[in-house]
């Protein structure tokens, strides 16, 4: 017997979680971790405008390492992550989606925005019960964040135009799987209508 995707009830208050939209993942000319993601950036610009105009919380993540001990096994598996070091321009948020004053950038060392951070507490302090998860990459840090968001009892939306991956097959497969098990995967227009 197969699993059927069932829509979650809408949250009362959403926060926007922009996962790893840093130069290291958005600029292929400067980083081997990046892919062409102009359309993903545009979708995130639209979401930022919508969240900001409604006064809803916005959080950015960036991956950055200060020492060899941080996420040593993860970095052993993917050694190119070592380029995301403290002081590198690659850990800066892409200027096309720059945080405004008061919008928080949380440094993480693993895949999930939640793992090893106080994100869940910050969300609850702002009476958030749902998150819109966007960014890079769909099969990696976005998926890990989606799973952890659900495990923290947040209702999760993933606007499919606002996430991307270096591997289109992995992108499609993970969107399908997340939609079945962990989140409501919707188009950008549907996501914006839920905010309204």
List the catalytic residues: 141
How buried is residue 103: exposed, middle or buried, by Cβ count under 10 Å (0-12/13-18/19+)?
Answer: middle
Please say whether the beta carbons of 148 and 115 come within 8 A: yes
Please say whether the beta carbons of 186 and 43 come within 8 A: no
Token pair belonging to 18: 């922009």
Q: How many Cβ atoms sit within 10 Å of the Cβ of residue 149?
A: 28
DSSP H or E stretch at residue 174: helix 168-181
- Widest Cα–Cα separation across the chain: 51
Identify the CA nearest to 146 among candidates 115, 189, 121, 112. 112
């Amino acid at each position: 017997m197969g699993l059927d995707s069932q829509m979650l009830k809408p949250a009362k208050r959403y926060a926007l979680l922009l996962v790893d939209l840093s130069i290291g993942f958005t600029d292929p000319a400067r980083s081997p971790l990046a892919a062409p993601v102009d359309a993903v950036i545009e979708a995130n610009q639209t979401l930022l405008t919508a969240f900001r105009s409604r006064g809803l919380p916005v959080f950015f993540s960036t991956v950055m390492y200060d020492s060899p001990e941080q996420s040593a096994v993860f970095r052993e598996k993917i050694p190119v992550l070592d380029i995301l070091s403290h002081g590198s321009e690659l850990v800066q948020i892409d200027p096309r989606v720059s945080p405004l004053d008061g919008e928080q950038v949380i440094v993480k060392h693993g895949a999930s925005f939640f793992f090893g951070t106080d994100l869940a507490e910050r969300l609850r302090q702002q009476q958030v019960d749902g998150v819109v998860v966007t960014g890079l990459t769909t099969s990696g840090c976005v998926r890990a964040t989606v799973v952890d968001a659900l495990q923290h009892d947040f209702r999760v939306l993933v606007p499919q135009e606002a996430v991307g991956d270096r591997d289109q097959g992995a992108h499609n497969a993970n969107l399908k799987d997340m939609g079945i098990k962990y989140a409501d995967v919707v188009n950008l227009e549907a996501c914006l209508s839920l905010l309204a």
